[in-house]
């Protein structure tokens, strides 16, 4: 299935950045944040004028990123149905959030998900809906 590019932006790892992308359905969002120390991907569920953060996935510690002195390109992709978001940094997939099934995939597998979510070991099969 084809995917939609929700966001493409260049960042400097370790420099504060907040990059939001809304699902084509309008019901969900994904936000990548580098707070200067860590990088996280947040899954958002919109409820009228408010929203809930339903998932938080650790992506990196700035101090562990070897090429942090070079610009990086962050992309958030959405599956065709708008129910899954994928985070790619420099074309390398780091995480997928499946809003429909309350399931996420992350290369770091940290932190533990909320009780109504499950976290799966990383598998490239998580990218099946982003062809």
**Burial of 10 by CB count in 10 Å (0-12 exposed, 13-18 middle, 19+ buried)?**
exposed
C-beta separation of 111 from 56 below 8 A: yes
pLDDT of 109 reads: 87
**Which residues on adjacent β-strands are paired with residue 103?**
98, 118
Query: Which residues form the domain of 56?
Result: 4-130
Sheet with 38-47: list strands edge to edge.
Answer: 17-22, 28-34, 38-47, 50-61
How far apart are the C-alpha atoms of 117 and 104, rounded to whole Å?
8
Q: C-alpha 130: how far from its chain's center?
A: 13
Residues in the chain predicted with pLDDT less than 50, given as ranges, are none
pLDDT of 99 reads: 97
C-beta separation of 96 from 45 below 8 A: no
pLDDT of 117 reads: 92
pLDDT of 111 reads: 86
Q: How many domains does one find in the chain? A: 1
pLDDT of 1 reads: 59
Per-residue pLDDT tens digits for 72-107:
999 999 999 999 999 999 999 999 999 999 999 999
pLDDT of 112 reads: 84
> Tokens 């499946």 identify what position?
98
């Amino acid at each position: 299935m084809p995917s939609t590019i929700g966001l493409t932006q260049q960042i400097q790892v370790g420099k504060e950045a907040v990059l939001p992308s809304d699902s084509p359905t309008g019901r969900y969002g994904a936000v990548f944040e580098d707070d200067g120390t860590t990088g996280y991907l947040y899954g958002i569920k919109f409820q009228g004028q408010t929203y809930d953060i339903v998932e938080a996935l650790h992506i990196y510690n700035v101090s562990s990123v070897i090429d942090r002195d070079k610009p990086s390109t962050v992309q958030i992709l959405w599956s065709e149905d708008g129910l899954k978001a994928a985070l790619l940094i420099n074309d390398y997939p780091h995480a997928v959030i499946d809003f429909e099934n309350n399931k996420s995939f992350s290369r770091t597998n940290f932190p533990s998900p909320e009780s109504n979510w499950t976290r799966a070991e990383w598998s490239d099969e998580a990218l099946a809906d982003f062809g």
